Amino acid sequence: MDDWRWMTAQDLGMAIAAGGIDPAALCEVFLAAIAAHPDGKRIYTSVTENRARAEAHAASDRASSGLRRGPLDGVPISWKDLFDTAGTTTEAGTRLLSGRVPVRDALVLENATAAGLVCLGKTHMSEIAFSGLGVNPITATPPNRNDHDAAPGGSSSGAAASVAFGLAAAAIGSDTGGSVRVPAAWNDLTGFKTTHGRLTLQGTVPLCITFDSIGPLCRSVTDAALLTAALGGERAPDLSNPRQDLHMAILDTVAMDGLEQAPADGFRAAVATLQSAGVTVDHLKFPPMEEVFTFAGPLYTADAWAWWRDLISTHPGVMFNQIEERVSAGQDVSAADYIASWTRLRAVRAEFAEAIAPYDAILMPTASILPPKVRRLLDDSDYYKTQNLLTLRNTRIANLMDLPAVTLPTGTPSCGIMLCGQPGRDDALLRVARAAEMALA
């Protein structure tokens, strides 16, 4: 039964449907693994044992009666600690929200529960989700699958660790600048950032409402499709017959600058594999992207400051200093500059959408660097800042251009390849990503 911990969510669901796995027994396997794992408390903020068991037993009853609610009915997953869970603390990795207990589930959690998914508990994260590194000295820093001394990636750090260490079949995170894709890449998982607005944010603790999005961290593209559909109360797209005549482009502007050797090598090897499988790969330059990066930072900090200023102002020094400093920079952004920057960003988005229209996906390394060591990040403030910006540089492109994006493992540890799709065409990107996944496998 320990093998169940490493199966895809899709395969677990199929085994439940076939009568080979009992959801109640499956839940107990994961709960036991969480309790026994030496880093379990660094990964989970809370384990909702009673809820999980009740949901799993209900799934067992449905399975035995032929009344399963969907393909993932009975599959246990984890939730990042910014999704409201009724009766369970939801603190977004910060003491500013210490003891906060919602009375209702986030709407995506309600949808997932209605689809039969089992809630194992809540996972640690970067404080208020405002770091791509996943380092949180205030609550906990989860381990990295490939190097326990290295950053796990963030902000959905515990989400990635819960799957990478076999403590959940899949995880749900959020992505504002790369917070699903970076930890997925650094832990050799698949991560899917949905288009902003595709999934409701109702009942989630906000960071930047103009960029916040929701997505799964999992073991396959099919899992990502099934989980996203469950979160939205929708039907998953059919990925069974992916196209072979794909046309992609590498974004040369910004995304390929200054890559560390391992991410560069992993990316190039993955691209070569795609080409060998028949994918046509071009190169795309887009000079306005360089301009966007000159004004993108204040768009994030101003939005974050609008949400967090009252708590920070009345409780100075409570947050991790790196996060408090970053959020507080938003108070210096003028309304005129903010509006002007958003006006320009919308224009660039339209230009970029036109530039990428001929392609099925835009390719780039998910992160330009390998996971840095946690100790140095905490000891060297300047190093933390530079590494955080480098970590999020490529993933932010999809958020800034409002694109769906998928990261896939390349086979090089902690190095992912990212595919960005057309604005709003999430399902089309998932079909392309499934074809790429098959080629890379």
Q: What is the CATH number of the domain that holds 2?
A: 3.90.1300.10
What pLDDT score does 155 carry? Answer: 98
Nearest to 279 by CA among 252, 251, 247: 247
What pLDDT score does 363 carry? Answer: 99
pLDDT digits (tens, 9 = 90+) for 176-198: 999 999 999 999 999 999 999 99
Judged on CB neighbours under 10 Å (0-12, 13-18, 19+), 92 is buried
Question: For the CA atoms of the chain, what is the radius of gyration?
Answer: 20
What pLDDT score does 1 carry? Answer: 84
Q: Give the Cα separation of 287 and 105 in Å (integer).
A: 43
Residue 359, helix vs strand vs coil: coil
Say if residues 100 and 145 touch (Cβ distance below 8 Å): no
What pLDDT score does 241 carry? Answer: 86
- With 90 as the cut, is the pLDDT of residue 327 above it? yes
- With 90 as the cut, is the pLDDT of residue 266 above it? yes
Number of domains in the chain: 1
By residue range, what is the domain housing residue 418? 1-441
Q: Give the Cα separation of 134 and 30 in Å (integer).
A: 23
Say if residues 379 and 153 touch (Cβ distance below 8 Å): no
What pLDDT score does 253 carry? Answer: 98
Rounded mean pLDDT, 327-340: 98
Stated pTM of the model: 0.98
Which residue numbers are catalytic?
A: 80, 155, 179
Buried b (16+ CB within 10 A) or exposed e, 227-260: bbbbbbeeebbebeebeeebebbbbebbbbeebe
What pLDDT score does 26 carry? Answer: 98
- With 90 as the cut, is the pLDDT of residue 229 above it? yes
- With 90 as the cut, is the pLDDT of residue 250 above it? yes
Mention every residue, 6+ apart, whose C-beta is less than 8 A from residue 227. Answer: 9, 72, 77, 112, 170, 172, 216, 218
Mean of pLDDT over the chain? 98
What pLDDT score does 48 carry? Answer: 98
Q: Secondary structure of 8-20 in the HEC alphabet?
A: CHHHHHHHHHHCC
- With 90 as the cut, is the pLDDT of residue 2 above it? no
Nearest to 351 by CA among 394, 299, 287: 287
